[in-house]
Amino acid sequence: MTTKRIAAIAMALLALVAACGDDNAGGDPTAIDCAPGETDGNLNFYNWSEYMDPDLIAAFESQYGVDVIESYYESNEAMLSQIQAGVAYDLIVPSDYMVKIMIDEGLAIKLDKDALTNYGNLAEEFRTQPYDPNGDYSVAYQYGTTGLGVNLELVGDAFVPSWALVFDPDLTANFAGGVSLLNDPRETMGAALEYLGYSLNDTTLEHLEEAAQVIKDARPGIATFDSDQYDENLANGEVAVAHGYSGNMIVAIGETENPDNFTYVLPEEGATLWIDNMVIPTISTAPCTAHTFIDFLLDAENGAQLTNWNYYGSPNAASTPFLDQEVVDFYAATLEADTEVITDTGDYEINFTDLFAEAKS
């Protein structure tokens, strides 16, 4: 009796493990054939938080008569684990390197370009990116940079447009407040690598160890490692310099009483450029609605509305005339600046994580 029960539990367990570990790799994604504007069910939209204008969602819902259910994630990896576990989202917004991983793992469907009537609006440089060379699986959503938000009042004369603002302990000692770094191994180790003059995708162990040492040496000036509230901490004066994403910074700075006291800089040594993309997972149950939604956002005015709402860069070339001048000016220099896109480093991700954990403590 007891052994039977144990056996039954073990069987159930194995079945569950098998279901969870079921890798979709290898199998060619079935070709999707959607008509422009076709819908095949409600849209389960899995997105970063504060990234989508609710008015656009409402407009899409009333125009096509479907519901959009939006859920949020706070890291590419958290999203990936949900997709791998088989949660049926219809549209996701992974960043560059994660698009590559999802294509390699067979988690993304090949898009039906015929259903994307507004695809021509997408700026040329965003159609072919190293992570998806032919743009077969992804359509750029928004782009941005990872740089430094600076409280000029607290930093004072010590201001330099360099990673030294966070990594040079002799400089940070002069600030009337600490600095905040992203609690993210790739971004923060990457910033230290850039500061040293290496690529942020460098995987040479000695270089990574040097980068960890930079973070270790900077510790006296570091107040916090934070990926969620750096913008708020910067705006209310809790930190003098914050490492974070462009859009969040502009919004937070714009909402302060005196925005002129703040600035956002891309350090001269080089910074991260990232591109978030719309991808339809193979497990989607409404791939045609997802195509229609992508096409909806590729529309010039809708694309502009999105960008004017979240203050990130727009990959939609046709949107430019409808954009707020502030956003246009802000991102005008970005694409010319010295930036790099993070790529997946495979097994070296472990070195990034471990050296970062060691550097922090």
Partner 1 sequence: MGPGGVDGRGAVSEPGGAAAARSELEDAARRAEARRGFLIALPAWFYLTLFFVIPLGIVAVYSFATRSSTGRTVLSDWNFDSYRRLWDSLVVEIALRTLLLALATTLICLMFAYPLAYYMATRRPALRNVLLILVMIPFWSNFLVRTYAWKVLLGSDGPVSQLSQALGGEPIRLLFTNTAVIIGLVYGFLPFMVLPLYTALERMDWSLVEAARDLYADGWTAFRKVTWPLSIPGVVAGSILVFIPTLGAYVTPAILGGAKTTLAGDYIVSQFLAARNQPFGSALSMGMMLIMLAATIVYFRWFRPSGRDL
If binding is defined by CB under 8 A, does position 174 make contact with partner 1? no
Pick between residue 92 and residue 122 the one whose CB is nearest to partner 1: 92
DSSP code of residue 347: G
Query: How many chain residues bind partner 1 (CB under 8 A)?
Result: 48
Angle, vertex CA 268, rays to CA 154 and CA 229, nearest 5: 45
Contact pick of 61, 105, 153, 217 for partner 1 (by CB under 8 A):
105
If one asks whether residue 85 binds partner 1 (CB under 8 A), the answer comes out as no
Judged by CB, which is closer to partner 1: 182, or 327?
Answer: 182
Which of 32, 101, 123, 328 binds partner 1 (CB under 8 A)? It is 101
* Interface with partner 1, residue 147, by CB under 8 A: no
Question: 229 vs 339, which CB is nearer to partner 1?
Answer: 229
Asked whether the beta carbons of 167 and 192 are under 8 A apart, the reply is yes
Cβ within 8 Å of residue 198, ≥6 positions away: 204, 207, 211
> Footprint of partner 1 on residues 212-251 (CB under 8 A)?
219, 222-226, 236-238
334 binds partner 1, rule: CB under 8 A: no
Q: Which of 84, 151, 172, 289 binds partner 1 (CB under 8 A)?
A: 84
Q: Which two tokens stand for residue 65?
A: 């008569």
User: Residue 359 CB, nearest distance to partner 1 (Å)?
Assistant: 9
CB of 104 to partner 1, least distance (A): 6
Buried b (16+ CB within 10 A) or exposed e, 146-158: bbbbbbeebbeeb
d(CA 1, CA 81): 37
User: Which residue of 147, 185, 190, 313 would you call a contact of partner 1, by CB under 8 A?
Assistant: 185
Q: How far is the CB of 98 from partner 1 (least distance, A)?
A: 10
**Distances, alpha carbon 357 to alpha carbons 186, 202, 216, 305, in Å:** 12, 18, 10, 40
Task: Compute the half-sphere exposure of residue 3: CA atoms within 13 Å on the CB side of its CA.
Answer: 0
Token readout for 196 is 């040293």
Q: Does 13 bind partner 1 (CB under 8 A)?
A: yes
Closest distance between partner 1 and the C-beta of residue 241, in Å? 14
Q: Which of 78, 88, 173, 332 binds partner 1 (CB under 8 A)?
A: 78
Q: Minimum distance from CB of 13 to partner 1 (Å)?
A: 5
**DSSP calls for 25-53:** -SSPPPPP---TT---S-EEEEEETT-S-
What the block records as the tokens of 47 is 């997105």
The nearer residue to partner 1, 33 or 74, going by C-beta atoms, is: 74
- Nearest of 172, 163, 233, 150 to residue 193 by alpha carbon: 163
The yes or no reply on residue 113 touching partner 1 (CB under 8 A) is: no
Among 33, 77, 125, 301, binds partner 1 (CB under 8 A): 77
Give phi and psi for 73, each to the nearest 5. -130, 165
Among residues 232, 229, 263, the alpha carbon closest in space to that of 149 is found at 263
Which of 147, 149, 177, 247 touches partner 1 by CB under 8 A?
177
Q: Is residue 344 classed as helix, strand or coil in its secondary structure? A: coil
Q: Look up residue 198 and give its two tokens.
A: 């290496």
The neighbour count for residue 210, using CB atoms within 10 Å, is 17
- State the binding string over 283-322 for partner 1 (x if CB under 8 A, else -): ----------------------------------------
Residue 62 · residue 88 · CB < 8 Å:
no
| Binding map of partner 1 across residues 16-35, x = CB under 8 A, - = no contact | xxx-xx-x-x----------
The single-letter code of the amino acid at 267 is P
CB of 236 to partner 1, least distance (A): 8
How far, in Å, CA of 9 to CA of 54, rounded? 45
Interface segment toward partner 1; rule CB under 8 A; list 74-82, 249-257, 263-271, 280-288: 74-82
Identify which of 272, 215, 263 has the alpha carbon closest to the alpha carbon of residue 240.
263
Chain contacts with partner 1 (rule: CB under 8 A): 9, 12-13, 16-18, 20-21, 23, 25, 75, 77-78, 80-81, 84, 101, 104-105, 177-178, 180, 183-186, 219, 222-226, 236-238, 344, 346-347, 349-350, 352-354, 356-358, 360-361
